[in-house]
Structure 1
Amino acid sequence: MAEAAGALHKTPLYDLHLELGGKMVPFAGYEMPVQFPPGVKKEHLHTRDRAGLFDVSHMGQLILRGDNAAAALEALVPVDIIGLPEGKQRYALFTNDQGGVLDDLMVTNQGDCLYLVVNAACKAQDIAHLEANLPGGIALERLDDRALVALQGPAAGEVMARLAPETAGMVFMDARRVTIDGADCFVSRSGYTGEDGFEISIPADRAEDLARQLLACEEVEPIGLGARDSLRLEAGLCLYGHDLDASTTPVEASLIWAISKERRADGVRPGGFPGADIVLEQVASKQVSRKRVGLLGQGRAPVREGAELFDAEGRAIGGVTSGTFGPSAEASIAMAYVSAEFAAPDTEVFAEVRGKRLPMRVCKMPFVPQRYHRG
C-alpha cells in the first residue's frame, strides 16, 4: 500500500538520484529510484556486464554489543552465530513460534560487536523483536546516521580496489572496517544480485561523496529498484514479503541450507530458536505440504506475482510470488510455492495470465550462474 508522499523518508542520496534523472517511487516508507533514464533492462544488463551502484540506505543497520551478544542473537535464529568468525558475514532468519520467517537478515562479526542489516519494511518490527527478546547486558544500537550502498557486477572488485586497495584480498562474505577518503566504512564482499560485489556502510554525510567517486568510474552506472528486483530473481534470491513471510518455514522456502548444521537435531547446539521443534522435524522428515520452486516459461510472456498455478487437469496447486522476463536468462522466470508433489524439476505446471493458462516448467535455481568472488 502506497504511503502519503509527505510521510516518506529520503535517503542521503535522494538529491543525487534526482540529479541523475531517477524516477522516484514510494518503497518501504522511502522515496527510492525505481529506474534511471537508461531503463530497467539496460541497467540490469549493465550490472551483469560491468558494475552497478545501488542505494540501499533504506535497509536497517543495527549493532549488538555485549559479552554474550552472539548467544543472545543465536537464540532468535536457526544459524550458528557463536561460531561466526571475526570478519565474516552470514545470512540469517528470524523465526516465530510456528517456524515462520519474520525476516531475513545479514549478520557480521566485527570483533567488538555484531553488525546486522535487516529489511527496510521489517525494520521497526525487527527492532521491537530484538528489544523484547534480548537479555539484559546486550545493547542494541540503531545506525540511523549511516547510509548503505551496493556496488555489484564483474568490475566491482577492480573499482573498489582503486578506492580501497585492501578490499582486493576479500572474498565472498568477508567483511572489514575500511577507511575510504577519510570516512570510516563497514565493507562486506556481498550483495543481492548473484554477482561479485560489495556493500558499503558509510556515514550519511559522506555518502554522496562516495557515490560520486564510484559513478565517476567509467564502469559504474546508477541502478534502480526495478533492475535490483530482476537481478535478485535471476539469482534465485528471496524477497521478504513476497517469497518469504511469517507463515512460511525455512524448509518450505527451500532454505534448509540456511539452517546451520550446528543448530540441527544432531548438531552441537540443536534447536533453541523460536519454532525449532517444527522446523527441525521438517528438516528430518523432509515432509512439507508445499515448496518454493523456480519456474521457467516456455514463451516470453512474463508471469507476475499473484498468478495462480494449475496442474494439467486444471486443479489449483499453488501461486507465483515473484516473476518477470529475465533480461539475462532471456526467458520468463518466476518463483512460486507449489504442492510438494509438483516440486520436482521438469514438472509441468500452468500459470493463469489474463484468462490464459501458460505452460511453465519447474527448474532449479538460480536461473543464471552466480558469480560470487570466492578466491
Structure 2
Amino acid sequence: MRISTVTMFEQSTASMNRQQSDLMKVSQQIASGRRVVNPSDDPQAASRAVGVDQAKAVTEQYSDSRVSARNSLSQTESILNSISDAITSAKTLLVQASSDTLTDANRESIASELKGVYETMLGQANATDGSGRYLFGGYKDSEPPFAKDGNENVQYKGDSNTREQRVDASRLMSVADNGETIFKSVASGAGYVAEADNANTGNVTFRGPQINDVKDATDFRITFTSDSEFSIETYDNDSNSWTPGPTGQTYSGGDSPQQIAVGGISITLEGTPAAGDEILVAKSGGDVRGADLFRTMEEAIRVLENPADNATKKADQRNTLNTAMRDLDNSLDNVLTVRASAGARLNELDVIDSVGSNRMLNYDQTLSDLVDLDYAEAISEYSLRQIGMQAAQKAFVDIKGLSLFNYM
C-alpha cells in the first residue's frame, strides 16, 4: 500500500500535537497542584468536589454566625453580671434602711444611693450590641426597650420574643433574652410574697408569709372591714377571679401579733388597721402579682424619700421594705438563672465550634483526595511525556528527511 508524503507529515504532526497536549496537561497539574484542573479531567471527582466546596462554604457561614452569637451572648452575660451586682447592692441598702436607729435624713441619703443603682439598672437594661441594636427588646431592637412614662415609672416597650440565630445546620440558638424574661419575671421556684396596699390608712404590719403546705398554697387577700374584723378572698386561677371567703373574722392584733392561715400559707399581722386596709399574699410572678424589678426599686425609693413622721407612714415603710427585699431576692435568683443559661449557650458554642472545625478538616481531606495532585506520580508522568514529545519530534525530523531524490 502506497503512503503519500502528505499522510506521513500529517500523522507526524498529529503525534507531536498529541504529545505536546499531554505534556501541557501534566505541566498545568504540576503548576496548579491539582489533579483535576478542568472538569473534563475527571467529571465524577469534579462533581463531588463542587458539592464538598458548597458544604465548606455553608460551614464557614455558620462559623461566622457563631462569632456573632458569641459576641451577643458574651455581652449579655457581662450585663447580667452587672445587674446581679446592682441587685445585691440594692438589697444591702434596704437592709441598712430597715434599721430602727436611722433617721429620716439617713434614709433619704440611702434613697439617693438607691436611685443611682436604679439608674444603673435602667442603663444596663437599654444596652446595645456592637451594631447599635438594643439587646433586650426582643425583635423590637431599634428603640430602647425600657422607658419612663409620665409618672416616672419604667415601662417595657419591647416584645416577648427572643432573638434567635442559626449557629449550625440543626441548631437555632437564642442569642439575647428579652427584657420581660430578665426584669419582669422570676425563677420558677419563687415563693409567695406579701404586700400591703400603699393606700392603707392604718398601721398594720406583717411578717412572712410562711409556706406550711405547698400543695394547698393559694393567693389570697385580707380586707379589714373595721379595726377588729376582716374578710378573706382567695384567687381562682381557673376563672381568673376572686372568690369570697370567710367574713366577719375577728382581728385582735394591736401590740399582740396575730397569725392568720389560709390554705397552706400563714402570715403574721401586728398593729391597728383601718376600714378598707388590704394585705395581699400572692405567688411572685403569678397572675395576681407580676414581677417587676423596676417597680420594686421605685416603691423602695418612694418610702425612703418620704419622712415616716406618723404610725401609718412607718407601717408603710416597713411593709414596703420587707416586700422589696423579698422581691429583690426573687429578681436576683431570676437574673442568675438567665445568666447561667447564657453561660451554658456560650459553652455550647465552644462545642459546636469544635465539631465545625473537625468537619472542615474532613471536607479538606475529601477535597484533597478528589482533586489534589500526587506530585511523585505527576513528575514521573511529566518525564515520560517529555520523552514521548522528544521522540515524536525526532521521528518527524527523520521522516521529513526521507526523499527518493536523495538517492538520484
Q: TM-score, normalised by structure 2?
A: 0.20
Structure having the larger proportion of residues in strand:
1
Q: TM-score, normalised by structure 1?
A: 0.22
Structure having the larger proportion of residues in helix:
2
Q: Which has the larger radius of gyration?
A: 2
